Structure formats: C-alpha cells, structure tokens
Amino acid sequence: MNRGKVFLIGAGPGDIKLITVKGLECIKKADVIVYDRLANTKLLSYKKPDAELIYVGKSPDRHTLTQKEINDLLVREALAGKIVARLKGGDPFVFGRGGEEAEVLIDAHIPFEVVPGITSAISVPAYAGIPVTHRDFTSTFTIITGNEDPTKEDSNINWQRLASDPGTLIFLMGVGNLPNIVQQLIKNGKDKNTPVALIRWGTRPEQQVVSGILANIVEEVTRAGLKSPAIIIVGEVVKLRERLKWFENKPLFGKRVLVTRSREQASILSQRIEELGGEAWEYPTIAIEPPLDFEPFDKAIKNVNNYHWIIFTSVNGVKAFFERLKKLHIDIRKLGDVKLCAIGPKTKEQLEEKGLLVDFVPEEFRAEAIIDGLKNTLKAGQKVLLPRADLARPILVESLKELKLNVEEVIAYRTVLDSDNNKELLEKLINKEIHVITFTSSSTVKNFLKLLGEADIKNLLNGITIACIGPITAETAQKSGLNVDIIAQKYTIEGLVDALTNYFKH
C-alpha cells in the first residue's frame, strides 16, 4: 500500500507572517490541508490549486469533528498516499494534541514530521507589550492549560505551587474558567493585587486586551465582554504593558483591508498595509491578460521608430510593451529618438529599469494632466503611440486628436474579471470582518460590484471605509452608488497608503 505522509504543523498565533518557513513549505506541497479554528485561513491561499481543504475547527461550545474523527481522517488520507498538512494554531505540542495525533500515526505505520510553531503563550503577550520574562521581575514562566474541568475531584494542576511561584503564569484557552482560576490562585495564597491581563485573538486585527488584578479581573472581563479565544497572563510583567505595547500603536492596527488589485500587483499594497499594523486581505477583482489579437500591437512595435512619442499610462503597459519587443526579437535601440511619457513615478521607474530616460511625467497622475503638460510641446501631425488597456478612458485619445496629432491606440493588455473565492468574501463582509476596501482603478470598482452580483451592496458595505487611489476611481465608485471616504491626493500606492494612515489618525 502506498502510504503518504503527515506534517503536524504549528500555524503560529494568527499573524500569518509568524508561520515558519518550513511550515509554509509544507502547506505549499500538501495534497490535503486539515486545519482548525485558530489557524489563520489566509495561510490556505498558499495551497496547491488542486489541494483539498478540510476544516476540523473546535470551539468551547462546538466541535466540528471529535479528536478521534480527526485522528481517523489523518490516517485515512495518508493511507490513500496523500501528503497531509495538519495545520494547528500555535505549536502542535503545546496543548495542541499533536502528541496524540502522532501516536495514532505511529500505530498506523504512517511517516510524519512535526513542524514546531510559534506558541501563543509567548508571542501573544509580546504583541500586547508583555514580555513573559524580564530581569527586573522574573526569570521563569509556566504554561498551564486553562481548559481543565473545575468540577474534577482531583486536579492535575498543582495550584499551591502555582500560587507560590513568583514567575509569570500563562493559562491557554481559559476564559470560561477564569473565575475558577482566580479563585484557586487566591485560595492558595496568591496576592489579590497580582497584575493580570487577558488577550483575545492576539497578533490579529481583532486583538483585544483587558488588564486588571486578581481581585477585579473577572469583573473587568465581564464588563469588556471579552470571549474566547484568549490567553491569561498572571504576574508582575503585566505592569510593563502600558510602556511596551507597540502593535496597537501602529496607525492601521485593527484594520482588515481588502485589496482589489490584480494578483501581480497586490503584494506591494498589502506589504505597506501590514507594515503599518493592518491585515491585508487580497481579493483580486481584475486579472491582466494579453490582447485577443496581437496584430495591431505587433505592427506598432515593428514600426516603433516612426513615432515621435510613446505615452505609457501604467506599469502594465510598460511590461506588456517590452515583453512583446522581446518576443518579436526587436532591438530596444530601434526606439532611437522616440520621446517617452510616463503617467506616474512607478511607470517612470519601470521604464528607467529598462535603461530609458523619460521625457515627461505629469505632476498630477491622470490623462488630463498629460495633455496640459504636453500641449505646448507636441506639434500637429506628430505620431503618438498609446499602448494601454482595453478598457482605458477615451479622453486621452480624444484630447490628443484635438491637437491634430496622429494617434495610434493599441491594446497592450486586457483587464478581466478574476476571483474564485466570492463565497468567502461575502462571509467576511456579512460578518463585518472587512473594515476597509481599497480601489486602485475604475476596473477594480466595476469588477468588484460585478463579482458581488445580486447582493445588497448598501447593507453589505455599511460601515466599511471605501478608499480610492484618485478622483477618477472615486468618481466611478460614487456613480456606482458607493460612499467614498478616502481619496488619495497623490495617485500612487504610497499616496493611497498615506491617505489611509491620515484618515485613521484623525
């Protein structure tokens, strides 16, 4: 029988960048991914296209599958010859029942590997500004299960030892048992004034921290309405939180931002959002595709030296142009004395990477600004090449023709609908898990609305901040019935990020 293999992977505490390199490698090669409630579902986007996803999440009041059923599932999939990634929140061997699953795999003679994860016991306090050890307070910490049944006659927890321990106490998944934990510690001699903090969904946008002392923490948690999943930190190190908290001080902390750019371009915006404390959720609404017919584009490129100007209105246009130049085996030197215009700094940068100097970049990154800037330079009868998207606005072509120029507009690339996770998007919008939606072009707006189909847009987007890269995109959104909250003053990704930061700062 052809046996597969199981990887018991620690997914870390929630922030997907806290998964290990090896853990991510295992996700990418798995045939089946078995994941639980505490594993960030963004990690699933790294799967193979044909990988099967199986959710086995547990919560305090509901189990999708029992532990035995999960064990049987791992054995069954591995015996079918599949590579199985068992994705567990935190670390699989720290109250993750990974040891039990490993034993079952051994009994079934199935090869397995354990891929340790960053445990929430250390990382979640760190994101809340609480070091679990500090030379001025303690040199030890203890990790304890918070899930032990308080009605058990004989507890496996030595409460007397814990109450006398001067080190940091970390209880995992103990919100429901908080009154009993507090009672046992005080009953066994712990000072009622010992600092305590509870951290819910640590390292994620939903991170919530409630602080107090043993004497009042139950009331504080009840008042805040804090629910599981959360960890409990007991000890003097909690005092450092107000001074050391850093994650919550980031300008986009607590914001999950929907990025609607194409897959090829989304990462730049996502990276900037996450550097500023937000969580970027990439939902490409457009895909960049080649023209259906290359003949007009190829003809223009073969005669490129006959043009006086080439106007590039996007990075995609530059990439498409040079990809075709290479495909046709045309030397870049054929551009000769052709002058180049780039609509913005990123487009200019893309041309400069090809070793070309740009003759003109408008101060305002829109078609109208190109006309204003070049109208006294362009001469009637000159030939202008415009390689751009199939759905680009006609105003630039019309305005150039009014200047008596010989304009040749060719389709360098197409923007088409692109998404395969509409159901997940709708769920996140309905559950109000998305706080901001960014639009970087009119195409992203139109396609986003098409992908939502017959959904009640007004109610679905109620309370969500809408941010647009510039006035043209904003106008498209407004005409489509969306309330636009943010319009970048500088029509670039950096400009959009700056606008987001300033909006939430004030």
Contact 146, 182 (CB under 8 A): no
Is residue 36 annotated as part of the catalytic site, yes or no? yes
Contact 224, 178 (CB under 8 A): no
Q: Say how far apart CA 268 and CA 203 lie, in whole Å.
A: 21
Instruction: Choose, from 42, 58, 346, 490, the residue flagged as catalytic.
Output: 58
Q: Could you tell me which residues come within 8 angstroms of residue 376 by beta carbon, excluding any fewer than 6 positions away?
A: none
Instruction: Choose, from 5, 15, 31, 36, the residue flagged as catalytic.
Output: 36
CA 478 vs. chain centroid, Å, equals 26
Q: Which two tokens stand for residue 407?
A: 């304009």
Is residue 418 annotated as part of the catalytic site, yes or no? no
Q: Which two tokens stand for residue 450?
A: 């098409």
Strand arrangement, sheet containing 286-289: 286-289, 406-417, 383-389, 309-312, 339-342
Instruction: Choose, from 5, 91, 173, 255, the residue flagged as catalytic.
Output: 173
Contact 185, 234 (CB under 8 A): yes
Q: Which two tokens stand for residue 383?
A: 């030939």
Sign of the CA dihedral running 177, 178, 183, 189: positive
Q: Could you tell me which residues come within 8 angstroms of residue 300 by beta carbon, excluding any fewer than 6 positions away?
A: 307, 385, 387, 408, 410
- E-assigned strands of 295-345? 309-312, 339-342
Of 250, 283, 322, the closest CA to residue 505 belongs to 250
Of 12, 19, 49, 21, the closest CA to residue 33 belongs to 49
CA-to-CA dists, residue 156 to 49, 183, 184, angstroms: 45, 16, 13
Q: Say how far apart CA 398 and CA 170 lie, in whole Å.
A: 67
Of 201, 225, 202, 221, the closest CA to residue 210 belongs to 221
Active-site annotation, residues: 36, 58, 173
